[in-house]
Chains A and B, each alone.
Chain A
Amino acid sequence: MSDLKGIYALWYREFKVFQRERSRIVASIINPILWLLIIGGGLGSVLSFGGVDYLTFLYPGILVQSLLFSAVFFGVYIVWDKKIDFLKEVLVSPMSRTSIFIGKILGGSTDTLLQSAILLLIGYAFSVTGVLAGITFSVVSVVIACIFLFVTTVGLVSIGLIIGSQMESPEGFQLISSFLIFPMFFLSGALFPIENLPGWLTPFVLLNPATYSVDGLRGTLIGLHRFNLGVDLLVISIFSLAMILIGTYAFRKIKL
């Protein structure tokens, strides 16, 4: 595999840039905390689901929310790379398009997962100080949570890259991706149990990969779940794999 160095190169670039863009890191951490404290705190005084505090119920949902927003959003950088000629510099190198796509996924996933890691640490800190009650932070639960986070992220980064590869303006990207992100977020059970939604929405909930991600994480961390954890993992694995395949194809047909 002569493309390994190139894949590393693309990851290296994303990682360096991510490290240097402090504001992006700070914003991506502060947003979920605000959600947790304001929505969680505010609704928590009147709501509770499944016998746990609303804040506790919400926490796995917020983990998925941060994945959704930062992983899909990562695709916008492809559009920016098109605006200048950086993308051509990469495409004109001897690397295959598949390897370029893999390098981009790794770069985007690293960014997103670092944010998740920080959120897990914050969750742990909240848990120790008693702000969050009833969350299991054991080695096993954290490892399983990380697997869920990783598999989901890869799929979501792919979605962002697919959209980015076909778009010519950041505004267009923004528009299309929010059409996707918001329904995925609201219909995932991140904010409330999916059983409470009107029946006609059920098919959308069941087709939404984020549903299984939220369910898996909530099952692992709190013990509340609707599906079997194996089923959750299987569904999001299939989803991510499908996105990788579509993305590889999209990169071959990338619009310059």
Chain B
Amino acid sequence: MQIIEIKNLTKKFGKLTAVDSLDLTIEKGEVFGLLGPNGAGKSTTLLMLTTLIPPTSGTALVNNFDIIREPDRVRKSIGIVFQDPSSDEMLTGYENLKLHGLLYDMDAALREERIAEVLRLVDLTGRKDDMVKKYSGGMRRRLEIARGLMHHPEILFLDEPTLGLDPQTREHIWEYIRKLATEKNITIIITTHYMDEADRLCNRLAIIDRGKIAVLGSPDQLKKDLGGDIIRIRIKNFNRESLAGLDYVKDIQKDDEGASVTVRDASLHLQDVLSRTGPVESVEVRPLTLEDVFIHYTGRAIREGAPEGGWAEKAMQARLRK
């Protein structure tokens, strides 16, 4: 069953086309990843799907409701955890959740029940009466995920859910996300900069570049389609022609130090590759990762670190307000 159907969705900011005639269908219960370099249009797509900004043209059905004609119903069907901190740190964890319950028109009994339920889920029951400013980054993130779940949405959007968090907390949050998808059958749409995150969590993902889908598929399928292994060669003068036209070579990415060559099976073809390139400074063979898939389709590495001012930085700014 389809839960999201994006039809020819376009968003222009002046001359810049942030999202360019996007078509995409997402099935119920999927964990779907949106990957792309900074400025590729992921966040803009998310903002349109959550009705926060109107599309320039095209539309989308979210839980069978049109984002342009029935934004209220769309909003009732979705939960979202934003990229930047979105809880009030002068309020306690409990108060932030209460606020959310009120915003979603829950009466007191249901509200209390759900607050207790989501607090247990993210393990924050013991800290619910502390002000959010006393929480660590990971706790605050968990609180915001809990909040996104409180009104039992059909679809949960997660914008960079583990940006800037430590490995343990990330692991913890991934566990919740998987649990939500499998046990509660919530459809989860996640944007991320972390390839390992996408690889481990997503059933399917779309790599978006310059507002268009560059490729779509399951992480395994995408890796398989591209080839098998990467041979990384360091060499003074790399000549692309020396490897051109070979049937086992899937991709060649030249850089300052040499090249990364994607081949079907490195154990069979390494000798041949080296004999064609001539003497190399060093060579390294590794299996293909999602990162390689990403580079192949977008032509650049995903930038490490935070996009436009990290989560921690924003949290600091928010603190300055007080």
Name A's B-contacting residues (CB within 8 A).
2-3, 5-6, 8-9, 12-13, 16-17, 20-21, 77, 80, 83-86, 88-96, 256
Inside 8 A of A84's CB, which chain B residues have their CB?
84-86, 314-315, 317-318
Task: Provide the bound-state CA to CA distance between A90 and B315, in Å.
Answer: 18
Inside 8 A of B78's CB, which chain A residues have their CB?
92
Inside 8 A of A93's CB, which chain B residues have their CB?
75, 100, 103-104
**A16 touching B91 in the complex, CB below 8 Å, given contacts A21-B322, A89-B86, A94-B76:** yes
> B88, A17: Cβ atoms under 8 Å?
yes
Q: Shortest beta-carbon distance, A250 to chain B, in Å?
A: 16
Inside 8 A of A16's CB, which chain B residues have their CB?
90-91, 95
Closest to B85 in A: A84
> B318, A83: Cβ atoms under 8 Å?
yes
> B91, A13: Cβ atoms under 8 Å?
yes
> A92, B51: Cβ atoms under 8 Å?
yes
**A90 touching B82 in the complex, CB below 8 Å, given contacts A13-B91, A21-B90, A256-B52:** no
> B103, A17: Cβ atoms under 8 Å?
no
Contact of B103 among A83, A85, A95 (CB under 8 A): A95
User: Does B72 count as interface, using CB distance less than 8 angstroms?
Assistant: yes
Closest to B148 in A: A89
User: Does B80 count as interface, using CB distance less than 8 angstroms?
Assistant: yes
Interface residue tally of chain B, by bracket? 35 or more
A-B residue pair count with CB separations less than 8 angstroms: 89
List 21 A–B pairs whose Cβ atoms lie within 8 Å, in order of A's numbering: A6-B103, A6-B104, A12-B99, A13-B95, A16-B95, A17-B88, A17-B91, A20-B90, A83-B321, A84-B85, A84-B314, A86-B85, A86-B88, A88-B80, A89-B80, A89-B100, A91-B52, A92-B75, A92-B80, A94-B76, A256-B52
User: Does B253 count as interface, using CB distance less than 8 angstroms?
Assistant: no
Inside 8 A of B80's CB, which chain A residues have their CB?
88-89, 92
Inside 8 A of A256's CB, which chain B residues have their CB?
47, 52-53
Task: Provide the bound-state CA to CA distance between A33 and B165, in Å.
Answer: 47
> A5, B75: Cβ atoms under 8 Å?
no
Inside 8 A of B295's CB, which chain A residues have their CB?
none
Inside 8 A of B53's CB, which chain A residues have their CB?
256
> B105, A94: Cβ atoms under 8 Å?
yes
Inside 8 A of A90's CB, which chain B residues have their CB?
103
Task: Provide the bound-state CA to CA distance between A9 and B99, in Å.
Answer: 5
Task: Provide the bound-state CA to CA distance between A21 and B89, in Å.
Answer: 12
Most central of B83, B88, B314 by chain A CB within 10 Å: B88
User: Does B50 count as interface, using CB distance less than 8 angstroms?
Assistant: yes
> A80, B99: Cβ atoms under 8 Å?
no
Other 8 A-B pairs with CB < 8 A, given A84-B315, A92-B52, A96-B72: A5-B106, A13-B95, A84-B84, A84-B86, A86-B87, A89-B82, A89-B147, A92-B80
**A6 touching B52 in the complex, CB below 8 Å, given contacts A20-B90, A83-B318:** no
Inside 8 A of B99's CB, which chain A residues have their CB?
9, 12-13
Closest 10 CB pairs of A and B: A9-B102, A85-B82, A85-B86, A93-B103, A85-B84, A89-B86, A84-B318, A5-B102, A17-B90, A80-B321
Closest to A254 in B: B52
Q: Please report which residues of chain B, range 98-123, place their CB below 8 angstroms from some CB of chain A when the two chains form the complex.
A: 98-100, 102-106
Q: Shortest beta-carbon distance, B11 to chain A, in Å?
A: 13
Task: Provide the bound-state CA to CA distance between A91 and B103, in Å.
Answer: 10
> B75, A83: Cβ atoms under 8 Å?
no
Inside 8 A of A13's CB, which chain B residues have their CB?
88, 91, 95, 99
Q: Shortest beta-carbon distance, A93 to chain B, in Å?
A: 4
**A9 touching B103 in the complex, CB below 8 Å, given contacts A16-B91, A20-B90, A88-B52:** yes
Q: Shortest beta-carbon distance, A15 to chain B, in Å?
A: 11
